[in-house]
Every structure is written in structure tokens, then in C-alpha cells.
A and B are shown apart, each in its own frame.
Chain A
């Protein structure tokens, strides 16, 4: 008993001995005005840009960030409960730029934009603190994008390949499967040596709870962090959320790892920033967004990168999401983000309601990195697929006039129909790349031409199951990653064998 007591006393003495009382000189200011998460402060002559300010209000300390430094005023956003702050309250500088905890302890957790856990799983011991705002890596440190990110979505991996370090925009109207693509991509990163960060900006918390449950079910939370700025959070928190996510990604980047980060969605981020800017009385421009709304997104997305081997060789792949209003891609924010990113996945309402899900529009979707972000086997089978898919849509529209068709056109149409059937895919069921290669190989080499269109899906499932059980084709593709003769013979064999067991083929 007494040893424990002595131990405690010794510890206490140690602590007290380690503590040095010293007078500190601090710069203080007084709150002149608070409104809607914004405070105007007098004094604070030493305040730095995006420095953390502490509001001492009613016995508690509330965190704020200096955003406007004027001649004799400081405009700050308040990250927290701003109703407690009163006019005349004292504000002190902290000499620290806004920073968040980062590290591998954050993996598998749900945190708010300040890095505070909100999943009820206890405190997070952070390895380090990283500044929220950081200049993007320069030219010298970068390498070209060449390794693929396998999304597991057949239409995307074939037509719009995404590379590690790329920024690919997912754009479309509400309720059309934008988040679904992002979540499927996260699920498919299992065993791909990739950390994932999902930043929810202004999303319903019920939706996030759903997503977390789905990711946990799929075992994807083992490598995923979720940064949550919900719809009920203030605009200030929404504004810093993507930068926080990026800082957390940069930690893994510095360890030489590959990271996938999803910003869901940047339209709400722009709206939050517009709110802050207008409250800070910055002059409004087009659609009332401030003049620097382009920089807002460009500085964020520039931080996605592929570093060269001298700098660790890590990468940050960014998948920003933009929600359009009634399919209007020429609005201000969509055009901005389209111009920043290395391509976009455009989801079309018409396709979605026709039952073509994911509703990827082959004509308007592009990836500027292109086939260098595909494995060789996929490159070979999917080389012209985007063009074919786009041509099929046009032809299909044309054929509705009911004119006579020549043999060539008819063949193209039939092929196209089956291609679009293959593109259809259920949610939460990403397909590994080897299986994708197998089915595409069968398509372009005519093995599916005699399968009825409505049976395509059944055929695909059956073939994959059959190949899994009876044949080496899938393991060979996954191993070799290219279509050598040996692999091709194996694929041909499995396709023929499987077809021999079917009774629904068109004779």
C-alpha cells in the first residue's frame, strides 16, 4: 500500500519539479463583433495568417483561426461553439499555425476536421501534428503517374483508368451514384497497399453512419480514415475539412505510402467558403463566390501528387466529387474543378434512370493520364473501349429512326449492347482487375456475341465462377499482368469450356 503511495508522491514531485513557472508575454485582442461563426477582433497586432486564436469566453477556450488581417482588425473564423463568445471577450495568439493530429492511429477512425474523434472509440494518440495548409510538392519532387488505382468498377477501369497520384473528378446530379463510386473504390483497395481517407463535407450524418457501417462490413475500415464535417457543423469546419484530410494523407505520403483521398463534395465546400467570405465582407464575384474560389480548390487538388523515388515514391490520389444542378456542368464551380483535375467521370441522369448503373457517360468522361495507368492486359483489351462505347450510344440514337442497317453497323450495335450490359454493376461489389480482363477479352474476341443480351449478366457471373473453380486463367492474369500467349490460350479454353455447358446460346 505504502509503496503505491510513495510512488504516486514521487511521480507528483517529479512533475512539479519539471514545471517551471515563467511570465509569458502574450498578444491579446478583444472581440468587437461576433456573428455566424465569424469574429472581428481588435488588437492582436502580431497575429499571423491562419494562426490559431484562443477565445477565452465564459471559462472555456474556443479555437478560432485568423483569416483576415487588416490594419487594425483581425477577422477570424470560429471552430466550435460560437454562441458562448461575447463582445469584449479576450482573444490570445498562440503562435501556432492551424494544425491537426496525423499518424497511423487515425486509421479506422472517424474524426472531425480538427482531428477530434467522433466515433466514441476513445482518444487518439497522434504521432505528429501537420499544418492544415501546405504548399503542394514542386516539379522536382514529382514523377509521372504510371501505377493504376483499381476502382473495381468495370466501366471506369476499362474506359477511364485512374493512376496513383491522379486527380479524377466525379461529377453528376444528386442521387445518381457519385458517392457509391467512391465507396466502391475504397472497398476495392483491400490488399492493394493503399490508405484511404474519405472527407465528408456537409453530408447528412445518417449517410455517413451508413457508409461507415458498409465499410466496416467490407473490412475496409482497416485502412480508412473518415473526416466528418456534417451538415450541422458550421461553415468554418466545412471549410477546413478537406485540408485536414489532405494533411492526414500527407503523413502517409511522407512515409512513402500510397493514399486515396475522396472529397465528398467540393460544391458544398465552395458554398461554405462563400458564406465565410461574405461574412468577412470580401467582395463577391460570379454566383457570389469570392475571387479566390479557384485558388481554394486548386491549392487543395495540387497537393495530390506522385512523388519520385528520391522523395519516397508515395502518392496521393484525389477523387473530388462535384454535385451539379440539373446537369449543368458549365456552372462556375464545376468548370473550375473540371479545369483543375486530370479528367472527370460524368454520371448522367438519363443513363441512371434507364437502369445503366453506374451511369458513366462514355463520351464526356475522360482521364488525361490515360492508358499509362492500366496494367498491360487491361490496356490490350480495353484500348478502344471508350470510343466504342461512345460510338454505340450515337448509333443507338440513330437507329431509333428505324432505317435499314448494313452488317457492320448491326454487329457494332450488338457488341455495344453487350458491352453496356457488362458495364452494369451492383453497388458494393467491386470486380478485381483479373476478372475484368477475362470478361473484356471474351467480349472483344466475340465469345459473347452468341449470348442473348438479357443473359449477358448471367453469362458473366457464370464464366467468372467457372474460371475461379476450373481454370488457371484468373491467377495467371493477376500474376503476369499481361496477355502472353499462355494466358490467352488459357482464357480461350475457359471461355469455350464454359460455353459448352450452356443451353441459352443463339444458334
Chain B
């Protein structure tokens, strides 16, 4: 039976959560062995990507991307992070900031597969659509 990348990643996360560093090393060795036995070593990138997702989730870490027209102050960033924490229940927010003049004003916030679009660009687009109706 073929084992999916998600199954691999989930079992690895289970095996190494709440164990000491030495145990983690043993667990990782065993994991590598199993992958070798199943000839799945060439899928390691895929598995690792899923693993980091699962790990982040378990640790309450949430990656988010904040796009604005200009660089924003640290205070705004903390506010956004607090908002996301309250909204998603994550414990830690890893916020990456992007500056795109295209946005014109406001911001676009992306996390997981959600987008909160409060940009001036979209508002103007919507207004245009509304007028065309």
C-alpha cells in the first residue's frame, strides 16, 4: 500500500512530539529507515513540507503575509498579529511583510488559504463593477 506524504508527516509528528532530544534522534533514524525500506526517500521534500505545516499547527504557529502599499509601523504589525491570534486561536504569528505599490492603500492579509482584502485597489475595482451594472 502506498503511504501518503500526509500519513508520513503525521506519524513523524506524533513520534517526536513530547520527547527528549535523544529520543528524537532515534525516532528520526527509524523514520529514515522506514522511508528507505519503502523506497520513499525521493519524496522527502514533499513529506517535509507537509510536516512543517503539521508541526506549525501543533505548536500554534501561523504564517501570515501582510501586503501594504507602504511599509507599516511595528505597532500596526503587532495589532494585526493580535487580531489573527484572536481570530484563529494560534499562539504565535509569523508575519512576513510585503510592500506593493499596486495595492494603492489599505492592506491584504493572507494566512492559510484565506485572504482578507481591505485594499484600495479592490475597493475601486468593486466600485467600478458596481457602476457598470
Chain A residues proximal to chain B, CB less than 8 Å: 12, 15-16, 18-19, 21, 23-29, 42-45, 71-72, 92
B15 nearest CB across to chain A (Å): 21
| A45 & B123 in contact (Cβ 8 Å cutoff) | no
12 more contacts with CB within 8 A, not counting A26-B117, A44-B113, A71-B6, are A16-B127, A19-B126, A19-B127, A19-B130, A21-B123, A23-B116, A25-B114, A27-B113, A28-B114, A42-B113, A43-B113, A45-B112
B131 CB within 8 Å of chain A: yes
Closest to A72 in B: B6
| A23 & B113 in contact (Cβ 8 Å cutoff) | no
| A45 & B113 in contact (Cβ 8 Å cutoff) | yes
* Chain B residues, Cβ within 8 Å of A44: 113
Q: Give CA–CA (A12, B130) in the complex, Å.
A: 11
Instruction: Produce 1/0 per residue, B3-37, CB < 8 A to A.
Output: 00010000000000000000000000000000000
B115 CB within 8 Å of chain A: yes
Instruction: Produce 1/0 per residue, B97-133, CB < 8 A to A.
Output: 0000000001000101111111000010011001100
Q: Give CA–CA (A390, B45) in the complex, Å.
A: 71
Q: How large is the interface on B (under 10, 10 to 19, 20 to 34, 35 or more residues)?
A: 10 to 19
Closest to A46 in B: B113
Among A18, A26, A92, chain B packs the most CB atoms within 10 A around the CB of A26
| A27 & B117 in contact (Cβ 8 Å cutoff) | no
* Chain B residues, Cβ within 8 Å of A16: 127
Known: A15-B131, A71-B6, A72-B6. A21 touches B126 (CB 8 A): yes
* Chain A residues, Cβ within 8 Å of B113: 27-29, 42-45
| A26 & B130 in contact (Cβ 8 Å cutoff) | no
Q: Give CA–CA (A19, B127) in the complex, Å.
A: 7
* Chain A residues, Cβ within 8 Å of B106: 23
Closest to B119 in A: A23
- Contact check: which of A23, A29, A43 meets B118 at CB < 8 Å? A23
| B115 & A15 in contact (Cβ 8 Å cutoff) | no
* Chain A residues, Cβ within 8 Å of B123: 21
A-B contact pairs, 13 of them (CB 8 A): A15-B131, A16-B127, A19-B126, A19-B127, A21-B123, A24-B116, A24-B117, A26-B117, A27-B113, A27-B115, A42-B113, A44-B113, A92-B115
Q: Give CA–CA (A24, B117) in the complex, Å.
A: 6
| A26 & B6 in contact (Cβ 8 Å cutoff) | no
* Chain A residues, Cβ within 8 Å of B126: 19, 21
Q: Give CA–CA (A383, B102) in the complex, Å.
A: 77
| A25 & B6 in contact (Cβ 8 Å cutoff) | no
Q: Give CA–CA (A451, B110) in the complex, Å.
A: 85
* Chain B residues, Cβ within 8 Å of A27: 113-115
B124 nearest CB across to chain A (Å): 9
* Chain A residues, Cβ within 8 Å of B6: 71-72
* Chain B residues, Cβ within 8 Å of A71: 6
Q: Give CA–CA (A162, B126) in the complex, Å.
A: 51
Closest to A42 in B: B113
Q: Give CA–CA (A259, B115) in the complex, Å.
A: 44
| A26 & B118 in contact (Cβ 8 Å cutoff) | no
* Chain B residues, Cβ within 8 Å of A45: 112-113
Q: Give CA–CA (A122, B127) in the complex, Å.
A: 25
Closest to B107 in A: A23
Q: Give CA–CA (A21, B117) in the complex, Å.
A: 11
* Chain B residues, Cβ within 8 Å of A21: 123, 126-127
Closest to A71 in B: B6
A76 nearest CB across to chain B (Å): 15
| A15 & B130 in contact (Cβ 8 Å cutoff) | yes
Closest to A25 in B: B116
| B115 & A26 in contact (Cβ 8 Å cutoff) | yes
Closest to B122 in A: A24
| B127 & A28 in contact (Cβ 8 Å cutoff) | no
A460 nearest CB across to chain B (Å): 59
Q: Give CA–CA (A28, B126) in the complex, Å.
A: 18
A138 nearest CB across to chain B (Å): 37
Known: A71-B6, A72-B6. A23 touches B127 (CB 8 A): no
A450 nearest CB across to chain B (Å): 73
B81 nearest CB across to chain A (Å): 17
Q: Give CA–CA (A71, B133) in the complex, Å.
A: 38
A-B pairs, 4 with minimum CB distance: A43-B113, A23-B118, A21-B123, A26-B115
* Chain B residues, Cβ within 8 Å of A29: 113
Closest to B108 in A: A23
Instruction: List which B15-71 residues lie within 8 A (CB) of chain A.
Output: none
Among A12, A18, A24, chain B packs the most CB atoms within 10 A around the CB of A24
B56 nearest CB across to chain A (Å): 15
| A25 & B115 in contact (Cβ 8 Å cutoff) | yes
Closest to A90 in B: B115
Closest to B130 in A: A19
Closest to B53 in A: A72
| A26 & B114 in contact (Cβ 8 Å cutoff) | yes
Q: Give CA–CA (A15, B132) in the complex, Å.
A: 10
Q: Give CA–CA (A335, B116) in the complex, Å.
A: 51
Q: Give CA–CA (A21, B127) in the complex, Å.
A: 8
A32 nearest CB across to chain B (Å): 12
* Chain A residues, Cβ within 8 Å of B130: 15, 18-19
Among B110, B115, B117, chain A packs the most CB atoms within 10 A around the CB of B115
